[in-house]
Amino acid sequence: MQLFLDSHDFRRAGHIVVDEEGVIVFCLEEPYRRNGVNATRRGWVYAWIAEAMQDGNPFQQVLYVGKAGGSLLARCKQHEGGFAGGSLTGLRHAERIFTYLAEHPTHRIGVFARKSAELTILGMPSVSACEIEERAVIMRCLREGQAVWNTALPAAVPPPVPVAAALEPAADDDPALAEAVFMASLDDAAAVDAITAVQNAFADVPNVELYCTFTNGADLRLRCHNRHGGQAVVARLWWQPRVRAVAVESSASVASCQALGAASVEPPYDHHPANIQSRARVDVSDGAAALTAILTAAVNEYLDAA
């Protein structure tokens, strides 16, 4: 889970302490304090994470995930008021914090935050995606088996599934919300342009459809229907921010991906469905031509084999 938070630009924003008077307070890092560079920035998703060293190795566990429509500082002040009796939820959080720290005296609770993406929705620009991102992080925690303190949990979150089932659509996914989360994960203008180009390229192609799910945070999938009435997911895409590339698992062969411009390509894992022939990484900094070509090959090679 920590790798997921790191790869999606969550940064340490501070930690939660109990002061000498037994009051729970947030000690924020300088950029998030009143005169810090992030003090007035609006729209955040954040996590309270228990931290410790166990047998010489760092231990981290997500305890709570929240969102801030305004500044992170203002949201932390609201939490402090709740801890002191300002709300029933705040009192419950305070009890959990006191109990956790009493049971784990060597642990501390860090605060990690991410500036949420801003989207254009229904013609309205600069709409914060903090609520969508909060839901996505909570779902990721639950799917990895991490219990969180949030009481308002996303409905119908399934248990963790075997990787072999990862290319099958999850029945509980809300495609519109999943697409918003997926697009929000594209923190690179070239990636947004490339995915938009792919969506446009396949918009009117018969017997294929693009849709998003919440697998591994969020992904984009290409499903194809064959002439025998069967269907299969012939490609799954997700953004890899650390390497600034689109990862693609698809029905295109290794040779096809190499010929069509993939930055790197490997055979599929043994647990992949039989129609998946390759795992590629595609650089989209120069446009979407290679990505679109690989997806087209995936459709054609699946249909040829059907």
Domains and CATH numbers, the chain: 2-143 (3.40.1440.40), 163-305 (no CATH)
- The confidence score (pLDDT) of residue 87 equals 84
pLDDT of residue 295: 97
- Residue 159 is predicted with a pLDDT of 41
What is the rounded (10 degree) CA torsion for 161, 194, 277, 255? -160
**pLDDT at residue number 182:** 81
The predicted pLDDT at position 163 comes to: 37
pTM over 0.85: no
DSSP single-letter state for residue 106? T
CA angle 112, 115, 116 (to 5 degrees): 115
Closest C-alpha to 26, from 34, 14, 36: 14
pLDDT value for 166: 39
- For residue 152, the model assigns a pLDDT of 62
Return the beta strands (E) in the chain as ranges: 11-18, 24-28, 44-54, 57-68, 108-115, 118-121, 124-128, 208-213, 219-225, 231-240, 245-250, 264-266, 278-282
Mapped onto helix, strand or coil, the DSSP state of residue 246 is strand
What's the residue count for the chain? 306
Here the tokens at position 141 are 């925690």
CA distance from start to end of the chain: 38
- The per-residue pLDDT string of the chain (306 residues; one tens digit each, 9 = 90 and over) reads 565 676 678 999 999 999 999 999 999 999 999 999 999 899 999 999 999 988 888 889 999 999 999 999 999 999 999 999 888 888 999 999 999 999 999 999 999 999 998 888 778 888 888 988 888 888 888 777 777 898 665 544 444 433 333 344 443 446 667 777 788 778 788 888 899 999 999 988 889 999 988 776 688 999 999 988 899 999 999 988 888 899 999 999 999 999 999 999 999 988 888 899 999 999 998 789 999 999 999 999 999 998
Give the phi and the psi of residue 226 in degrees, each rounded to 5: -95, 175
